[in-house]
């Protein structure tokens, strides 16, 4: 197969990226390891001296478009840069006879591919990854986007939901807007994690402080670091517990202010995102990985934590409660500061249970989220779409 994967930010650069980019990078590398031709396209660093940079990384043809710095807002520069990148991209699509384009539900990424398909000059199949509900938040803020998303969800050749719970949330979201669920095709699967890259760790020594960690963007919707902060304030002052919040985002200042208001600066620390190896080191040193949210797509950081044999404490919401069984593969808690405080205090006093549950979590991830196994489903889905394309061509 010939596959092109396109993301807004590049997971091959130095800037922090989200779970979508890291998942699609892993997917690209797994396809390449099986002998398929894979192109990974994204914008990179504005400091690059090259407009287009070409590398081969783990068998993947990595194409990085330079971000154009245009402080004077010169229209000609914008127009030229966009035209050049589009020309280069379309040359790859045509010259290499790309059969599959895979991206996520970013309208600025997807709509140009829909336009290319409508032109009749391209024969690829467009697969759109659905990993969250930001589309719904965007429509609530700007109702004019509803028609654009409706077109995207119905005209893409396939929608890839990364969990059953997310599919349920997606259907519910459509229902609130009276939007139809009418995709040409959809499937539910996530590439998972590369277990070869993750070392299982467990609590090997008693630490005086119970170290908790949450890694997630500080967004103005969905993520609920505020619940965790408020829960920490409810714990007895002498409780030997410390919480570290790692991430970036628009709510960082507000969360820092809340920490100061509650007098928690000695117990709650915020740090910006860090490179993956440093992040995994932080996870390995933590007693408990936390994730407070209103809903999730899948939460790659939780899957990675479980693979490391770490116990996780997460909000009792979809789709987290689809694969985390309380007291078995992790711990669930209702989204109130009081409930979180009670659960934290109980787990702090029973570290033996954390070790037991962490071991079961690692076994579960090996069974359900091993990228070496999950790539087979993607090969099947992509191949069937390509075969459908060939069948349609032969009939016409």
Give pLDDT, residue 367. Answer: 92
Residue 10 has pLDDT above 60, yes or no: yes
Report pLDDT digits (tens) over 293-308: 988 877 888 999 999 9
Mean of the pLDDT values across residues 17-24?
Answer: 88
- Classify residue 269 as exposed, middle or buried by CB count within 10 Å of its CB (0-12, 13-18, 19+): middle
Radius of gyration from C-alpha coordinates of the chain: 22
Q: Could you give the angle at the alpha carbon of 69 between the alpha carbons of 102 and 48, nearest 5°? A: 70
Mean of the pLDDT values across residues 64-81?
Answer: 57
Cβ–Cβ contacts within 10 Å for residue 259, how many?
22
**Distance linking the first and last C-alpha atoms of the chain:** 22
Determine the Cα–Cα distance for residues 271 and 259; give it in Å rounded to an integer. Answer: 13
Determine the Cα–Cα distance for residues 159 and 102; give it in Å rounded to an integer. Answer: 10
Residue 231: partners with Cβ closer than 8 Å, 6 or more residues away: 337, 338, 340, 341, 344
Give pLDDT, residue 300. Answer: 85
Backbone angles phi, psi at 326, to 5 degrees: -60, 125
Report pLDDT digits (tens) over 39-68: 999 987 655 567 788 999 999 999 998 765
> Cis ω on the peptide bond leading into residue 272 (within 30° of 0)?
no
In CATH terms, are 2-192+371-395 and 195-368 the same topology?
yes
Give pLDDT, residue 71. Answer: 43
Name the E strands within the chain.
2-9, 37-43, 52-57, 60-65, 100-104, 125-130, 158-161, 186-188, 210-215, 241-246, 268-271, 288-291, 312-315, 331-333
Q: Dig out the tokens for 192 from the structure.
A: 């998972």
CATH number for the segment(s) 2-192+371-395: 3.40.50.2000
Give pLDDT, residue 76. Answer: 45
Report pLDDT digits (tens) over 92-128: 999 999 999 999 999 999 999 999 999 999 999 999 9
Strand partners, 314: 291, 332
Residue 167 or 391, more confident: 167
Q: Could you give the angle at the alpha carbon of 98 between the alpha carbons of 93 and 99, nearest 5°? A: 140
Contact 137, 221 (CB under 8 A): yes
Residue 333 has pLDDT above 70, yes or no: yes
Determine the Cα–Cα distance for residues 210 and 344; give it in Å rounded to an integer. Answer: 9
Determine the Cα–Cα distance for residues 305 and 136; give it in Å rounded to an integer. Answer: 28
Mean of the pLDDT values across residues 155-161?
Answer: 97
Give pLDDT, residue 26. Answer: 96
Report pLDDT digits (tens) over 249-269: 899 999 999 999 999 999 999
Nearest to 287 by CA among 313, 324, 315: 313
**pTM for this model (two decimals):** 0.88
Cα–Cα distances (Å) from 312 to 31, 245, 301, 344, in that order, read: 30, 15, 10, 11
Residue 350 has pLDDT above 90, yes or no: no
Mean model confidence pLDDT for the chain: 89
Strand partners, 61: 39, 56
Report pLDDT digits (tens) over 192-245: 999 888 876 665 456 688 999 999 989 877 889 999 999 999 999 999 999 999
Residue 246 has pLDDT above 90, yes or no: yes
Give pLDDT, residue 393. Answer: 52
Q: Which CATH class for the 195-368 domain? A: alpha beta
Question: Any idea which residue has 């910006």 for tokens?
Answer: 272
Per domain, the residue ranges of the chain are: 2-192+371-395, 195-368
Cβ–Cβ contacts within 10 Å for residue 247, how many?
21
Report pLDDT digits (tens) over 351-371: 888 999 999 999 999 999 999
- Classify residue 175 as exposed, middle or buried by CB count within 10 Å of its CB (0-12, 13-18, 19+): exposed
Give pLDDT, residue 277. Answer: 82
In the chain, count of helices (H) and strands (E)? Answer: 14, 14
């Amino acid at each position: 197969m010939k596959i092109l994967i396109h993301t807004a930010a590049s997971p091959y650069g130095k800037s922090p990226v989200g779970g979508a980019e890291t998942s699609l990078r892993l997917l690209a590398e797994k396809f390449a390891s099986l002998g398929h031709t894979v192109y990974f396209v994204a914008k990179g660093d504005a400091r690059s001296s090259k407009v287009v940079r070409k590398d081969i990384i783990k068998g993947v043809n990595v194409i990085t478009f330079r971000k154009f710095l245009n402080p004077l807002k010169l229209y000609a520069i914008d127009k030229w840069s966009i035209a050049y990148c589009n020309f280069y991209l379309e040359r790859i699509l045509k010259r290499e006879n790309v059969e599959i384009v895979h991206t996520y539900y970013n309208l600025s990424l997807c709509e140009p591919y829909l336009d290319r398909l409508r032109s009749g000059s391209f024969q690829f199949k467009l697969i759109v990854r659905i990993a969250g509900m930001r589309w719904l938040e965007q429509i609530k803020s700007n109702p004019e986007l509803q028609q654009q998303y409706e077109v995207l969800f119905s005209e893409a050749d396939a929608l890839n939901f990364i969990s059953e719970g997310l599919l349920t949330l997606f259907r519910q979201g459509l229902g609130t807007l009276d939007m139809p669920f009418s995709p040409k095709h959809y499937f539910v699967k996530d590439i998972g994690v590369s277990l070869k890259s993750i070392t299982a760790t467990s609590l090997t020594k008693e630490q005086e402080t119970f170290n908790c960690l949450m890694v997630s963007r500080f967004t103005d919707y969905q993520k609920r670091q505020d619940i965790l902060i408020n829960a920490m304030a409810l714990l007895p002052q002498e409780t030997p517990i410390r919480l570290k919040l790692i991430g970036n985002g628009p709510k960082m200042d507000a969360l820092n202010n809340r920490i100061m208001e509650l007098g928690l600066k000695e117990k709650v620390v915020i740090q910006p995102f860090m490179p993956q190896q440093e992040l995994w080191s932080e996870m390995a040193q933590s007693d408990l990985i936390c994730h407070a949210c209103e809903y999730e797509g899948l939460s790659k950081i939780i899957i990675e934590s479980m693979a490391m044999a770490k116990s996780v404490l997460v909000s009792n919401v979809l789709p987290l409660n689809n694969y985390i069984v309380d007291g078995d593969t992790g711990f669930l808690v209702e989204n109130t500061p009081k409930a979180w405080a009670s659960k934290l205090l109980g787990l702090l006093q029973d570290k033996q249970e954390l070790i037991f549950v962490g071991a079961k979590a690692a076994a579960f991830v090996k069974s359900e989220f091993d990228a070496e196994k999950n790539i087979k489903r993607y090969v099947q889905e992509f191949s069937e779409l390509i075969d459908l394309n060939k069948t349609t061509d032969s009939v016409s």
